[in-house]
Amino acid sequence: MDDIITRRGFLSLAAAGGTLSGWLGRLAAQAADESQAKSCILLWMSGGPSHLDTFDLKPEASDKIRGEFRPINTSVPGIQISEHFPKFARLMQHAALLRSMSTVESDHQLASYHVHTGYQKRAGGVAFPSLGAIVSRELGERDFPLPSFVCIGAGPRHATRSGFLGPDHQPLDVTHADRGTDFVEPLTGRNEFNRQYELLRRFDLPFQEMYRAESARAHWSALDRAVRLMSSEQKGAFDLSQESDADRDRYGRGSFGQGCLMARRLVETGVRFVEVLMGDGVGWDTHRDNFPRTRALSAEADLGMAALIEDLRDRGRLDSTLVIWMGEFGRSPQITSGGGRNHWARAWSSVLAGGGIRGGQVVGRTDQGATEVVERPINVTDFLGTVCTILGIDYTRPNRAPGVERPIPIVDTSKKVAVVSELL
Partner 1 sequence: MWQTPTVLPVLTGLLISLVCLAMNAAAEDDAAALAELIDRHIQAPLDAEGLERVPPADDAEFMRRVYLDLHGVVPSAERATRFLDTSDAQKRSQLIDELLASPSFGEHFGDVWRKRLISPLASEQRLQTERFSDWLAGRFNNNDGWDRIVFDLVTATGKIDENPAVTYLIEGRHPLGVTDLTDLSSRYFLGVRLNCAQCHDHPQVAWKRSDYWGMAAFFAQIQTPGRPKKVYQAGVQDDPKMTLASLVEADMIEGYQSVPPTFLGGEALQADAHGSHRAALAHWITSSENPYFARAAVNRMWWHFFARGIVNPVDDMHTGNLPSHPELLELLSRRFAESGFDLKFLCRAILNSRTYQQTSRPGKQADAEARLFARMSIKVLSAEQLYDSLVAILGPPGKVPGIDTRLGARSEFCQFFAGDGDPDPKSYERGIPHLLRLMNSPQFAGQNVAALVSRVVAPGRSTDEAVEKLFVTILTRRPTPTEQQLARDHLRDADASPQTAYRELAWALLMSSEFSLNH
Binding stretches for partner 1 (CB under 8 A) = 104, 107-110, 120-127, 147, 156, 161-164, 166-173, 175-176, 179, 182-187, 192, 195-196, 199-200, 202-204, 206-208, 210-216, 218-220, 222-223, 225-227, 229-230, 402-403, 405
Whether the Cβ atoms of residue 286 and residue 294 lie closer than 8 Å to each other:
yes
- Close Cβ partners of 62 (under 8 Å, ≥ 6 residues apart): none
By residue count, the chain amounts to 424
Cβ proximity to partner 1: between 94 and 121 the closer is 121
Least Cβ distance, residue 61 to partner 1 (angstroms): 26
C-beta of residue 97 within 8 angstroms of C-beta of residue 325: no
Minimum CB distance to partner 1, residue 117 (Å) = 11
User: Counting beta carbons within 10 angstroms of the beta carbon of residue 327, is it exposed (0 to 12), middle (13 to 18) or buried (19 or more)?
Assistant: buried
Please name the residues in contact with 147: beta carbons below 8 A apart, sequence gap of 6 or more: 136, 169, 170, 171, 172, 229, 271
**Residue 105 CB, nearest approach to partner 1 (Å):** 8
SS3 call for 151: strand
Tell me which H or E stretch contains 343: strand 343-344
Q: Is the Cβ of residue 145 or residue 354 nearer to partner 1 in the bound state?
A: 145
Q: Judged by CB, which is closer to partner 1: 167, or 316?
A: 167
If the CB atoms of residues 325 and 329 are measured against partner 1, the closer one turns out to be: 329
Closer by beta carbon to partner 1, 250 or else 341: 341
For the bound state, the minimum distance from the C-beta of residue 198 to partner 1, rounded and expressed in Å, comes to 9
Beta carbons within 8 Å of 263's beta carbon, 6+ residues apart? 41, 150, 152, 274, 276, 308
Kindly write down the DSSP assignment for every residue of 206-254, as one continuous string.
HHHHHH--HHHHHHHHHHHHHHHHHT-SGGGGG-GGGS-HHHHHHT-SS
Question: Nearest CA to 110 among 120, 125, 101?
Answer: 120
Per DSSP, which regions of 7-75 are E strands? 39-45, 71-73
Report the nearest approach of partner 1 to the CB of residue 376 (Å): 22
| Closer by beta carbon to partner 1, 121 or else 317 | 121
The residues, any chain, with a CB within 8 Å of residue 146's CB and separated by 6 or more, are: 172, 229, 232, 234, 235, 237, 266, 269, 270, 271
Instruction: Tell me the CA distances in angstroms from 105 to 47, 111, 118, 347, 370, one per residue in order.
Output: 13, 5, 12, 12, 18
Burial of 43 (0-12, 13-18, 19+ CB in 10 A): buried
Nearer to partner 1, 71 or 156 (CB): 156
Of 84 and 121, nearer to partner 1 (C-beta) is: 121
Minimum distance, C-beta of residue 155 to partner 1, in the bound complex (Å): 12
Contact 392, 38 (CB under 8 A): yes
Q: How far is the CB of 286 from partner 1 (least distance, A)?
A: 18
Contact 309, 331 (CB under 8 A): no
Backbone angles phi, psi at 331, to 5 degrees: -130, 155
**Distance from C-alpha of 137 to C-alpha of 350, rounded to nearest angstrom:** 24
To partner 1, the closest distance from the beta carbon of 220 in angstroms equals: 6
Q: How far is the CB of 414 from partner 1 (least distance, A)?
A: 9
Per the CB < 8 A criterion, the answer to whether 374 and 368 are in contact is: no
Q: How far is the CB of 81 from partner 1 (least distance, A)?
A: 31
CB nearer to partner 1: give 145 or 359.
145
- The nearer residue to partner 1, 3 or 405, going by C-beta atoms, is 405
Tell me how far, at minimum, the Cβ of 34 lies from partner 1, in Å.
22
55 vs 193, which CB is nearer to partner 1? 193
